[in-house]
Chain A
């Protein structure tokens, strides 16, 4: 089955700096890679996703890159703000369900 590994588990940055979170996956058949943000006590919410037919996707301060050959994908947040503080999860599809990484707790220091 699919295995998704995510690093780092915690990340602390200064406001205005960039943050990068990396994930690797094992199943070469996976073709959909979403990123979710979860605030404390809340449900995860999709922030950006990418499909295997593209290498990069941007949405304002957030971007995701995908390297199919190496089976890894990354989330990039630029100009971080305190409201970016949350837990971020990557995921990859396997059959008709998503397999999630273990999460990265991002703390943006004002």
Chain B
């Protein structure tokens, strides 16, 4: 619901494996974002994209990669270079008013075993 869909909701990974989290939106919005949330902490920006084929690093981009080949899709890959990948990952886009507020997907919880 809400126009932004993340999958999978839960994901388990072994150390050393890459994993890709999906984020799709049907709101026809240009801007999309990935945030990471750790227990008891705020949301930290990983990457964001303002337009197709363009994206910018956020505050904690190391060990992550993204692509923006289509307007509706902004997948996040957690690589083996990310030292502590266990976290709750939230994808977001701007709301229809486009005035700055974010609308989040339901999140993907990644656990590294």
A and B co-occur in one complex: yes
Binding site for B on A (CB under 8 A): 1, 4, 6, 9, 32, 34, 42-46, 49, 89, 93, 96-103
Q: Indicate if the CB atoms of B90 and A46 lie closer than 8 Å.
A: no
Q: Which of B37-84 contact A (CB under 8 A)?
A: 40-45, 48, 50, 58-59
Asked if A44 and B90 make an inter-chain contact with CB atoms under 8 angstroms apart, the answer reads yes
| Size bracket of the B interface | 20 to 34
Question: Given the complex of chains A and B, what is the CA–CA distance between A34 and B48 in angstroms?
Answer: 18
Q: Is the CB of A44 within 8 A of B43?
A: yes
Known pairs A32-B100, A93-B100; list 11 more (Cβ under 8 Å). A32-B99, A45-B104, A46-B95, A46-B102, A49-B101, A89-B42, A97-B58, A98-B100, A98-B102, A103-B40, A103-B42
The dominant DSSP class at the B interface is loop
Q: Is the interface of A mostly helix, strand, loop or mixed?
A: strand
Q: Which of B35, B102, B107: most chain A Cβ within 10 A?
A: B102
